[in-house]
Amino acid sequence: MDLDEALKARKSVRAFKADPVPLSLVNEILELARHSPSGTNIQPWKVHVVAGDVRRQLEAEVLAHRDTKPADAVAEFPRTSKRKEPYTTRMRTLGKAMYGLIGIPKGDEAANWRQWGRNYQFFDAPVGLIFTIDKDLDAMSFLDIGIFMQSIMLAAKSRGLDTCSQGAWNNFWTVTRRVLSVPDDEYIICGMSLGYADETSPVNTLVAEREPVASFATFHGFE
């Protein structure tokens, strides 16, 4: 699969097969992703890759902790942005389509809670990635991690694997920090599921709408 195909084919997968992903293949993907650009080449990304017993331990302990309604149910790092139009409509359109495919009716809080918990099972993917960053770095380094994650997602897709980047992992960070021995001077930014998509799952038929170029690009100086 070439780059153009990978960009068009990549999507967030929310149901995975149990088929294992070899460590050698994960390393191959990370070897490519490490060539990602970053501001002044500081390469701020750090990633904990979990599989097997450690992945299962992380899943079990985060889910158990989540049910206690703890104080760390919000991100440790500042998140002060407010959603407004057109972003609110885009978010709601995606949510309505996804929950319709899953079969969760609007207002079913118990079913919504269970589905949110699927994030902490990496949607059954055999490999999970947890991304962290030094706390003393600024917002530009968060941008660098986003670029690094996109590189991982494209490299994975070109090798027949699928992914789902997951902001949910910046919640319940106290458990993740403890299980993975993440240093106190790092923020847990987000996670990512990595594995082979379960093509029989209805949720994986979801393709998020994308805006046309004319809606976000302004061209200057062209004849």
> Residue 105: which residues within 8 A CB-CB, separation 6 or more?
99, 111
Is the pLDDT reported for residue 80 higher than 80?
no
pLDDT at 108: 96
Residue 156 CB coordination number (10 Å): 25
> Residue 194: which residues within 8 A CB-CB, separation 6 or more?
21, 26, 122, 125, 126, 127, 128, 129, 152, 156, 161, 162, 163
Domain that holds residue 191: 3-39+46-73+84-212
What confidence category does residue 131 fall into, taking pLDDT thresholds of 50, 70 and 90? very high
What confidence category does residue 179 fall into, taking pLDDT thresholds of 50, 70 and 90? very high
What percent of the chain is predicted at pLDDT more than 70?
Answer: 100
Is the pLDDT reported for residue 127 higher than 80?
yes
pLDDT at 219: 97
Q: Look at residue 172 and tell me if it is in a domain.
A: yes
> Which stretches does DSSP call E strand in the chain?
46-50, 127-134, 162-166, 186-195
Q: Look at residue 223 and tell me if it is in a domain.
A: no
What confidence category does residue 45 fall into, taking pLDDT thresholds of 50, 70 and 90? very high
pLDDT at 139: 92
Q: CA-CA distances (angstroms) from residue 194 to 56, 107, 163, 207?
A: 15, 30, 5, 18
Is the pLDDT reported for residue 23 higher than 90?
yes
Q: Look at residue 221 and tell me if it is in a domain.
A: no
Q: Look at residue 78 and tell me if it is in a domain.
A: no
pLDDT at 215: 96
Q: Look at residue 111 and tell me if it is in a domain.
A: yes
What confidence category does residue 83 fall into, taking pLDDT thresholds of 50, 70 and 90? confident
What confidence category does residue 36 fall into, taking pLDDT thresholds of 50, 70 and 90? very high
| Bond before 86 cis per omega within 30 degrees | yes
Tell me if residue 22 falls in helix, strand or coil. Answer: coil
Rounded to an integer, what distance in angstroms lies between the CA atom of residue 50 and that of residue 93? 32
What confidence category does residue 146 fall into, taking pLDDT thresholds of 50, 70 and 90? very high
**Lowest-pLDDT range, 38-47, 62-71, 72-81?**
72-81
Rounded to an integer, what distance in angstroms lies between the CA atom of residue 188 and that of residue 178? 11
Is the pLDDT reported for residue 32 higher than 80?
yes
DSSP 181-208: T--TTEEEEEEEEEE-B-TTSGGGG---
**Tokens at 17, concatenated:** 């097969």
pLDDT tens digits along 95-119: 999 999 999 999 999 999 999 999 9
Number of domains in the chain: 1
Q: Look at residue 219 and tell me if it is in a domain.
A: no
Provide the CATH number for the domain around residue 15: 3.40.109.10
pLDDT at 198: 98
Rounded to an integer, what distance in angstroms lies between the CA atom of residue 87 and that of residue 85? 5
Let me know: does 50 contact 58? Beta carbons within 8 Å.
yes
Is the pLDDT reported for residue 15 higher than 80?
yes
Is the pLDDT reported for residue 70 higher than 80?
yes
Q: Look at residue 23 and tell me if it is in a domain.
A: yes
Is the pLDDT reported for residue 81 higher than 80?
no
> Residue 68: which residues within 8 A CB-CB, separation 6 or more?
none
Rounded to the nearest integer, the mean pLDDT of the chain is 96
pLDDT at 1: 86
